Chains A and B, each alone.
Chain A
Amino acid sequence: MDEAELVAALRVGDPTALEVLVEMHGQRLLRSATLLCGNESAAQDLVQDTFVEALRAIHRFRSKASLYTWLHSILLNLARHHYRDNQRLVFDNKLPQHEVPVLEPTPSASDLQVAAAEITAALQQLSSAHREVLVLRYYEQMKIQELALHLCVSKGTVKSRLHYAIREMQKLLPPEMNLFGPGGTKDTV
């Protein structure tokens, strides 16, 4: 079932379309939501709410952008509501402190989990605006123009937020994570 057929099936109330929708986009939305809100359990709720909202508004979907992009814009709005409802201040000394492994080309599952925790924790320390541009640019691989449209800001604002977000991530992530170059973190931009 291609995207146009899926949308048509959802509009007419075909029950099998629901399974296809979740199977096609559920995992990718969940991973994006986890990066945005920092918590897998909350991310699952966000994704569920995203699908419900999408079903309610499917008659308003226009094929200008892809179905996934449209679903992601719903997810982004819900995630912003989630931030506002669950704002809390996290002090540095409350963050889990554990040894961060240097990831080999084929890291183990436990190493990945630790690295994932470090990255999501660092992302949560950014403001929602800076976290969104990082996730959309480097995880969702959106181009600058797409980002600007998705976030309803100018391209200049997107670039400015990216620049700031990268600098902040450099400070927040431990040097062992080897994120920005072969020699560890460095001031690249």
Chain B
Amino acid sequence: MNCRQMRENVYEYLEGSLSRSEMNAAENHLAGCLACHELLQSEKQLAESLSNRLQQSMQTIDLDALSQGRMLQALQREFQDSQRQPYSFSWARLAFPFAIAGLTLTTVFLLGYSLLNLSRIPSRLEFSTPQRETAEANFHLSYPVTGYTFQKKGNLVVDSLTIETLVADGRVTSE
């Protein structure tokens, strides 16, 4: 044990809380370290002095008969109240926790349900599946095609942007 460890454990040494091996290590260190020995003596003296002083200072504080009687009256009132309303388990105590649990489960359920029902794909590609069991699908495809037209007007060439929507319908079947 070194000086730092001795300083850290001085309280435990004085109160006898150290393990046997720690106590031996402390004793060996104290035998060879004057500074730690003086620290220990100082702390011991302080503990005794402060304890004695606190004990002495409280000698004049007594629980007199009047105060004792007052306390007993308060306790007897409390006693009688508890007899009239004995402690008993009530299901109402669980109302709030159950309400919170129910609300949480409902929220989780609604979130899960809305995530499972995905919104429609915002594109012009539409599939309609026939009710028959054959693997067949109709498709209706529309897509914009951009183009430029050029016109000569005098010495100038004027270009114009055109957008034409093309539509294709068809059917695909599985083989």
Contacts and interface: CB of A to CB of B under 8 A. Distances in A.
B50 A189 contact: no
B43 A144 contact: no
Interface stretch (B66-74, B127-135, B167-175): B66-74
A48 B63 CA distance: 11
Interface residues of A, number: 51
Nearest to A142: B15
Contact of A31 (B45, B61, B70, B79): B61
A139 B74 contact: no
A179 B53 contact: yes
B75 interface: yes
A113 B62 CA distance: 13
Which interface class (under 10, 10 to 19, 20 to 34, 35 or more) fits B? 35 or more
Contacts of A103: 53, 56
Contacts, number: 123
Nearest to B86: A13
Tell me whether chain A's interface is mostly helix, strand or loop, or mixed: helix
A143 B14 CA distance: 10
A15 B39 contact: no
Interface in A114-173: 115-116, 119-120, 134-135, 138-139, 141, 143-145, 159, 162, 166, 169
B76 interface: yes
A1 interface: no
Interface in A86-131: 103, 107, 109, 112-113, 115-116, 119-120
15 contacts: A18-B79, A22-B63, A26-B68, A34-B58, A44-B63, A51-B71, A51-B74, A55-B79, A103-B56, A116-B56, A116-B61, A143-B15, A159-B11, A188-B42, A189-B43
Interface of A: 13, 15, 18-19, 21-23, 26-27, 30-31, 34-35, 40, 43-44, 47-48, 51-52, 55-56, 59, 103, 107, 109, 112-113, 115-116, 119-120, 134-135, 138-139, 141, 143-145, 159, 162, 166, 169, 177-181, 188-189
| 7 A-B pairs closest in CB distance | A116-B57, A31-B58, A188-B42, A138-B50, A139-B54, A27-B63, A26-B63
